């Protein structure tokens, strides 16, 4: 195979034939998928402009008028809450001459006002003011405009779909894509006992990663690398305690069970666990990478999230959030220290992961490399994910099914309670 492949090859099924094979026979996704600017540009259209993309946490726009500018598929959007506290997403472009309306994040009173000629839009996106530009304005040249008469009612901001699951906010640019609940499949039910929606942000750390976003995702979902990359983690999370934890939905699920006690290097226990989490859930760490760009790690006493934002084929911005539950914090003798300790533990793991995915990115630049073989015991998760990427690149609207009983028996936790 010549590398790089031409753009049109990225849109053909046969390009991916080796990754489409059953996992025992499969090869990894074509290396150009991680290095080619053309592949990256196609992904923007075919993955990020079509799927529900996680953009922030609900509490980051907590009140009416709070806003946050986010970028999805190369388009700038304003996320906000209207006067009733309902979520809204607008394209960040003024309907007059197209100026970008807002930057960053903050709070606005009742309006978004364009800095260019002061057109103003309310929190539902309706155009409310167009200074010196109204039908009765004496400055306008009178004429019989008929259907072309200027009407502010037609000048509202362009909207995008926005939805919330648990504490997460997602945006979807495609009006014809399925609802978020359909794409998530059984994941909300799997996480139900953990009450993830009640968690609050305790810490946030941002990273810049010199690697493709899919390497970040794949690294999250395989535990083959634990012994070599995270020796300290092995004490609380041995490889043999890892299992596939997979139902229907656009996600890849896995778990650690049982989670070990903390060691001198730290661990996951720290804060008191939440009441009402029973059975395997009480003693497990549950992980899900929701397609395309969020990694969710849930324990009985805290939640750790990674939101990835691809900015180029080889660059990913990542926001990590450590979440704690008010009940757990209230029950802790020293919640600040326990939270700092948890963050230190996660941050160490995350930096180890970042170093190795950057190393993979470096290796993939070498055009001699044509892809590698999947290890079915450990990389069926990556196989599922890479096939979701291929589906999206080919325009196939498909929500992957869950495991059949044989796969669940082969790879799932014993006495699988999922």
Give the binding site for ligand FES (CB under 6 A): 94, 96-97, 99, 114, 116-117, 119
Rounded to a whole number of angstroms, the minimum distance from the CB of residue 357 to Fe ion is 9
Q: In what order do the strands lie in the sheet with 315-324?
A: 200-209, 315-324, 303-312, 294-298, 285-290, 251-256, 242-244
DSSP symbols for 60-105:
GG-STTEEEEEEETTEEEEEEE-TTS-EEEEES--TTT------SE
Rounded to a whole number of angstroms, the minimum distance from the CB of residue 19 to Fe ion is 22
Rounded to a whole number of angstroms, the minimum distance from the CB of residue 352 to ligand FES is 47
Only segment of 12-20, 144-152, 317-325, 351-359 that touches Fe ion (CB under 5 A):
351-359
Question: How distant, in Å, are the alpha carbons of 94, 137, 293, 347 from that of 133?
Answer: 15, 6, 43, 54
Q: Answer with the entry of ligand FES, Fe ion, none that 353 interacts with (C-beta below 5 to 8 A by kind).
A: Fe ion
Torsion of CA 24, 25, 28, 29, to 10 degrees: -120
Q: Answer with the entry of Fe ion, ligand FES, none that 114 interacts with (C-beta below 5 to 8 A by kind).
A: ligand FES
Q: Which is nearer to ligand FES, 157 or 408 (CB)?
A: 157
Q: Answer with the entry of ligand FES, Fe ion, none that 100 interacts with (C-beta below 5 to 8 A by kind).
A: none
Q: Which is nearer to ligand FES, 102 or 374 (CB)?
A: 102
CA 219, 245, 73, 201 dihedral sign is negative
- What DSSP state is assigned to residue 367? T
Among 60, 183, 353, 379, which residue interacts with Fe ion (rule: CB under 5 A)? 353
Q: Which is nearer to Fe ion, 52 or 287 (CB)?
A: 287
Rounded to a whole number of angstroms, the minimum distance from the CB of residue 124 to ligand FES is 18
Q: Which is nearer to Fe ion, 357 or 392 (CB)?
A: 357
d(CA 239, CA 227): 8
Q: Which is nearer to ligand FES, 97 or 351 (CB)?
A: 97
d(CA 189, CA 56): 21
For the beta carbon of residue 142, count every other beta carbon within 10 angstroms: 8
Q: Which is nearer to Fe ion, 228 or 337 (CB)?
A: 228
Q: Answer with the entry of ligand FES, Fe ion, none that 117 interacts with (C-beta below 5 to 8 A by kind).
A: ligand FES
Rounded to a whole number of angstroms, the minimum distance from the CB of residue 108 to Fe ion is 40
SS3 (DSSP) at 305:
strand
Q: Answer with the entry of ligand FES, Fe ion, none that 116 interacts with (C-beta below 5 to 8 A by kind).
A: ligand FES
Only segment of 73-81, 237-245, 347-355, 362-370 that touches Fe ion (CB under 5 A):
347-355
Rounded to a whole number of angstroms, the minimum distance from the CB of residue 93 to ligand FES is 9
Q: Which is nearer to ligand FES, 129 or 394 (CB)?
A: 129
d(CA 296, CA 321): 10
d(CA 85, CA 294): 25
Q: How many residues of this chain interact with Fe ion, rule: CB under 5 A?
A: 1
Rounded to a whole number of angstroms, the CA Rg of the chain reads 24
Q: Which is nearer to ligand FES, 123 or 382 (CB)?
A: 123
Rounded to a whole number of angstroms, the minimum distance from the CB of residue 125 to ligand FES is 14
Residue with smallest beta-carbon separation from Fe ion: 353
On whether the CB atoms of residues 309 and 39 are closer than 8 A, the answer is no
Residues that bind Fe ion (CB under 5 A): 353
């Amino acid at each position: 195979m010549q590398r790089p492949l031409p753009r049109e090859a990225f849109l053909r099924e046969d390009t991916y034939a080796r990754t489409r094979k059953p996992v025992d026979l499969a090869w990894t996704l074509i290396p150009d998928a991680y290095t080619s600017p053309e592949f990256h540009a196609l992904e923007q259209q075919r993955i990020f402009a079509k799927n529900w993309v996680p953009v922030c946490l609900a509490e980051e726009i907590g009140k009416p008028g709070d806003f946050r500018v986010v970028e999805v598929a190369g388009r700038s959007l304003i996320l906000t809450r209207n006067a009733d506290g309902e979520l809204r997403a607008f394209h960040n472009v003024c309907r007059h001459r197209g100026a970008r309306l807002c930057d960053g994040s903050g709070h606005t009173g009742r309006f978004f006002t364009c800095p260019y000629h002061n057109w103003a839009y309310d929190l539902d996106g309706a155009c409310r003011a167009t200074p010196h530009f109204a039908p009765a304005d004496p400055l306008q040249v009178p004429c019989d405009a008929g259907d072309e008469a200027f009407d502010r009612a037609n000048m509202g901001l362009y909207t995008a779909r926005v939805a919330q699951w648990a504490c997460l906010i997602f945006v979807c640019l495609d009006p014809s894509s399925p609802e978020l609940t359909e794409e998530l499949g059984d994941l909300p039910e799997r996480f139900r006992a953990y009450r993830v929606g009640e968690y609050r942000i305790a810490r946030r750390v941002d990273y810049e990663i010199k690697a493709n976003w899919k390497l970040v995702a794949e690294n999250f979902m395989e535990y083959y690398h634990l012994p070599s990359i995270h020796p300290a983690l092995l004490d609380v999370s041995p490889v043999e305690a890892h299992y596939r934890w997979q139902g229907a939905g656009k996600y890849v699920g896995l778990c650690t069970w049982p989670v070990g006690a903390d060691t001198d290097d730290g661990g996951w226990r720290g804060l008191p666990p939440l009441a009402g989490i029973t059975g395997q859930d009480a003693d497990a760490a549950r992980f899900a990478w929701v397609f395309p760009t969020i990694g969710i790690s849930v324990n009985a006493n805290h939640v750790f999230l990674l939101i990835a934002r691809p900015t180029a084929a080889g660059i990913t911005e990542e926001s990590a959030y450590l979440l704690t539950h008010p009940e757990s914090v209230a029950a802790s003798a020293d919640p600040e220290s326990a939270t700092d300790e948890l963050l230190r533990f996660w941050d160490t793991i995350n930096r180890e992961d970042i170093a190795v995915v950057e190393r993979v990115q470096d290796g993939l630049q070498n055009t001699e490399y044509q892809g590698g073989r999947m290890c079915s015991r450990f990389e069926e998760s990556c196989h599922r994910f890479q096939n979701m990427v291929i589906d999206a690149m080919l325009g196939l609207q498909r929500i992957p099914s869950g495991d059949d009983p044989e796969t669940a028996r082969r790879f799932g936790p014993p006495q699988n309670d999922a």
